[in-house]
Structure 1
Amino acid sequence: MTHPRRFDTKIAVLLRDDLLAWQRLNVTAFLISGIASTHGEVIGKAYTDADGLTYLPMFRQPVLVFAGDPETLAAARGRALQRGLAPAIFTSDLFLTSNDEDNRAAVQATRTDRLDLVGLAVYGPKNAVDKVVKGAVLHP
């Protein structure tokens, strides 16, 4: 039997607490892709089943999903930036677009203090990420 491995880093997703189920899933998938594409060290090795078929690698550590109100998300973004952690963000405007170019244009057209955040993801030292998501609750 193996024992749970403790990591000195944490991957966290913070979602606005009033999203519909499909929105929560969609936002989480988009946000976590930002972590995976930027921090290659979080990706484990490929999986192989007993018949020798190979499957794609996944994160090597758990992803914790939290929920909070708009103020909690805004505060978390500020704390992430203060700690030098670049967050992935998803704004409500992105529900109205259908491609990466339009997504980036929607964010670029909005001042930082006017971004209507519906989600963010961060990766970094465990204690720093814990401080970023302070005030949020684990997603039910």
Structure 2
Amino acid sequence: MMQQTPKLGAIAVVVRDGQVLLARRKKMPDAGLWGFPGGHVEPGETALEAARRELLEETGLSARAVDYLTCIDVIHKDAQDRVLVHYLLAAVLCTDANGLLKAADDVSEAAWFPCDQVRAGDLAMSAQVAEVMDLAILRQG
């Protein structure tokens, strides 16, 4: 089924001690791929708030949403070049993550990965994970 208008999502980007938090998606469009915890922005909710909420729902971790890093267009088309899915994802830098890490909600696994492993491309990942991770590292100084 074709999507009529783009949907807004937020992803929580958490990097600490040379590692990045990733979650394996259960649902399309990126089912089975590792990416940042995240999901839909609800009406009346800012993308910063959505990133914090989704992080907690999907990983059990709470964190402070610091700032926007970038936006990512996720567009999937069929063979006739018709848009099937279009999300605009606000990537949100989150810090001070704490809690007991556990996969829940829309993810099958959640884990910390060495940043170098993500850059090497050894994982089956969503688009732009390494680039967004590096933006977070630069922002944190």
TM-score by length of 2: 0.29
* Structure label with greater radius of gyration: 1
Higher strand share: 2
